[in-house]
Amino acid sequence: MEFFSVGAQARGFIAIGAEAEGVIAIGQVARGVFAFGQMATGVVAVGQLARGVFVLGQLGVGVFVLGQGAVAIAKGTGMIAIAGRAGGMIPISALPAPAEEGWKPATIAKVSELEQGVSSYGWMRARFDFVGAEVRATVDGQARPTWKINEEVARAVRDEGKREGWIRVERSEVVSARQEGGFREAAERTIELTITSATWIARTSTARIVAAVIGMAVIVAGVSAISLYPVIEVFASLMSAR
């Protein structure tokens, strides 16, 4: 393989021509590891019509794509984008948005801060389960059987199937006087933690999961046929030229 090739049909490590093929290819029709042209095919492809892994083009097809029109397996951004994760003016994402992209509290408290009285309330992530007929919260991977749960929160778990969310926990002190043998002893202070409200994290429905699987299968098949297989052919061609 020539190191530098220029011509109507150029083929070299650096190729420049109407039809160029090389590690670095520049031309009207460019094929290479780095391809720049009106029609570009490569691992990194830049062109009016571009296809590859990392793609920038007016119309781009690949794994990661930025273009006026974009079709991508992983991430695509454009005026019209169809991708696993799409962004832009008209984004069509095959994959559902992650639950973590939903609402989050401005500040997140630690259980130890409430127990030690550093904070009087705080927000934290929780999961709810049933222990018999009782609703119980799990925070930081640990069940919290002594925590009280607001009835509205408990009803959402029982009747609406809510399981995960951000919970507001409030700290309070309960003072009770103990009396034994006719004598009143010093008051006993008990710390109570109560879940007063919750902002639930939406679950992805089964139908949405099925749609995501079908959508990704179509995108992967289409991008592979249009973009990835041609890139593999370019690699094979370049390797055979050595």
Per-position DSSP letters for 181-220, written without gaps between them: TTEE-PPEEEEEEEEEEEEEPPPPPHHHHHHHHHHHHHHH
d(C-alpha 109, C-alpha 187), whole Å: 29
Query: What is the structure's pLDDT at 242?
Result: 60
Please tell me the predicted confidence (pLDDT) of residue 84. 95
219-229 per-position pLDDT tens digit: 999 999 999 99
Q: What is the pLDDT of residues 112-136, one digit of tens each?
A: 998 888 888 999 999 999 888 889 9
Q: What is the pLDDT of residues 150-177, one digit of tens each?
A: 999 999 998 888 889 999 999 998 777 6
- Per the CB < 8 A criterion, the answer to whether 213 and 34 are in contact is no
- With H, G, I as helix, E, B as strand and everything else as coil, classify residue 239: helix
CA angle 93, 233, 68 (to 5 degrees): 35
Q: What is the per-residue pLDDT for 3?
A: 86
Query: Which residues of the chain, if any, have pLDDT below 50?
Result: none
| Contact in structure between 223 and 230 (CB atoms under 8 Å) | no
Kindly report whether the global pTM for this prediction surpasses the value 0.85: no
pLDDT at res. 170: 93
